[in-house]
Structures are given as structure tokens and as C-alpha cells.
Amino acid sequence: MIRQPIKKSTRIILGIGTIVLVLTFYTFISYRQHSANPDDSTIPTWHQFVDGVNKIVTVNPRSGDRWLVVDSKATAVRLFVGLGVGVGGAIFVGMLMGCFTIFEAAFIPILSLAAKVPPTAILAVFFVLVGIGINLYIAMIVFGLLPSLSMAIYLSIKQVPDELIYKSYTLGASHFEVACNIIFRHILPNIIDSIRLQIGPSMVYLIAAEMLCADVGMGYRIRLQARLLNMDVVYPYLAVLAGFGFSVDYVLKRIQAKICPWFLLG
């Protein structure tokens, strides 16, 4: 039957089973590839992976850096600053649009248009306007994130029942209090969910920009090592990116559960 509940143990077994299946499949195709060509580096063996991980976590004799450390640091700073500016701007614009029809009328057309321009295509413009410093990456993330996130926030506000807003006024709230104390708190879990959904796209924009313009960062390293067919380095970097995205998503989920416990009851 559709949506039939399953036991928690079944859920865990299925989740782990899928991962084991993928790893087994990878091991099989890696084994096959290396049987045909023992020097292959496109589908590394687990042993090659160990060498690759060692390469990225130990000090590189030429640069004197640990690749993983410097790249993670550069990417994380760019991502968090970009996310901070983008999320802050999106909340501000989304709240204005959702609460005041004058801003709704002013912003919706321009945001609808901006949302249709692929951020990677506009990289050239940012390259000219802001150079290749951290501002370029922030601009990429903000441009990619702000239109869709502010529209999501705007639509969440539209879902707030009028009755709650009217009632707030009868309880003595000012316009500002209705916006901050009622509407914002009502949509806060939706904002967190929307941010969670934007983590992936933000990383796409950042990695794409780093591949093209950076001299340090996860995107830069992946592009460089992929050109040298060092997939024993590329795959661990992808795993780190996946783990990083998963961790941020998990933290946001925990924050949502902590500050919006009521949301999980509904």
C-alpha cells in the first residue's frame, strides 16, 4: 500500500544496504578495470584510495601545505560568507515582499528574471566587475541563491493565515511586531528547510567558480587532479564535499528541531 509505515530497523537496514550495494558494485568494476589494466587510475582500487588520502592529508613537499586543509578552509570561508550574505539578503527581500504589497510588486518581476539567468553564465560579468578575490565567489552564491530563496520565503509568508495576522493586531501588535514576532516565527522552519535545499546549489556555484578562477579550493584541486587523471585524489575530495554538505544539512536540521519543536508536531 502507498505510504505504508515500515519498522525503524527495516529503514536502517535498507539505508545501509543501499550504500553497501553501491560500494560492492564499485569494488567489482574497479577489480574488472584493474584486471584489464593494472595501471588504471580512473577507477582506483581501495588501496589506491589510501594512497590518495595520504597525499591530501600530509604536507605536500612542493607547496609545503596540506591540500585538504588549505582547500577546505578556502572553500568553507567562501561558502559560509556567501551563504550568510545570500540568506540574510533573501530573508530581508522575502520578508519585504511577503509583508508589503508595494515591495511584492517591485521585486517579483526582477527576481523572476534573475532566477532564469544561470549563475555560472554570469560568472564572466562578475569576473569583470569584482575581480577574482573572495567577492567573486560571494557574488556567485548570492546571485544563485537570493532569487529562489527570497521567492520561497515570500511564498511561505503567503501561506500564513490572515486570521493570525488580524488577531495579532487585536492583541496590540505593531506592523513591525507582526512581521518579526508572528510572521517570521511562523515561517522560520520553512526558511530553514529552504536554506537546506539551497546548500547543494550554492556548492555547485562555488565549485564551478573555483574550477574556473581559483588557485586554491576544492573546485580548483578537483579540476587540476582530474586533468592529471588522479582520481584517487578527486574521489576523496568528492567524499569530503558530500560529507560537508551532509553535515551542514544535519546541523540545520538539528537547529530546526531545537528552535522550532512545534514544527515537528504538526
Partner 1 sequence: MVPIGLKMPIIVECDHVSHWFGENKVLHNIELCIEAGQIVGLVGPSGCGKSTLLRAIVGTHPPKKGTIRTFCYNPGQMDHGLDTVVTRPGRDRGIVYQKYTLMPFLTARKNVALGLKLDQTSIIGRMNLISWPSLCRKHLQKADEFLDKVGLSYAKNLYPAEMSGGMQQRVAIAQALIMKPRILLLDEPFGALDEAMREELNKMLLRFYQENLVAKAAGKSLPYTILIVTHELNEALYVGDRVVGLSQHWDWASAGHNSCPGATIVYDQPALVFHPDDARKFDGLSQQKEEICQALRGDSQKIV
Query: Which 58-97 positions form the footprint of partner 1 (CB under 8 A)?
Result: none
**DSSP reduced 3-state for 59:** strand
Record the cell numbers describing residue 96, joined without a space.
519585504
193 is a site residue for partner 1 (CB under 8 A): no
Determine the Cα–Cα distance for residues 127 and 133; give it in Å rounded to an integer: 9
Select from 169, 197, 200, 239 the one that contacts partner 1 (CB under 8 A): 169
Site string for partner 1, 22-41 (x = CB under 8 A): --------------------
- With CA atoms as reference, report the closest residue to 167 among 189, 183, 188: 183
215 is a site residue for partner 1 (CB under 8 A): no
Please, what is the minimum distance in Å from the beta carbon of residue 176 to partner 1? 7
Q: Which is nearer to partner 1, 39 or 163 (CB)?
A: 163
- Answer for the pair 208, 120: CB distance below 8 angstroms, yes or no: yes
Q: Which is nearer to partner 1, 148 or 181 (CB)?
A: 181
- Answer for the pair 85, 150: CB distance below 8 angstroms, yes or no: no
173 is a site residue for partner 1 (CB under 8 A): yes
Please, what is the minimum distance in Å from the beta carbon of residue 85 to partner 1? 24
Q: Which is nearer to partner 1, 31 or 166 (CB)?
A: 166
Determine the Cα–Cα distance for residues 91 and 98; give it in Å rounded to an integer: 10
Determine the Cα–Cα distance for residues 96 and 109; give it in Å rounded to an integer: 14
- Answer for the pair 118, 201: CB distance below 8 angstroms, yes or no: no
Q: Which is nearer to partner 1, 188 or 204 (CB)?
A: 188
Residues lying near partner 1 in the complex (CB under 8 A) are found at 161-164, 166-174, 176-177, 180-182, 185-186, 188, 260-263, 265-266
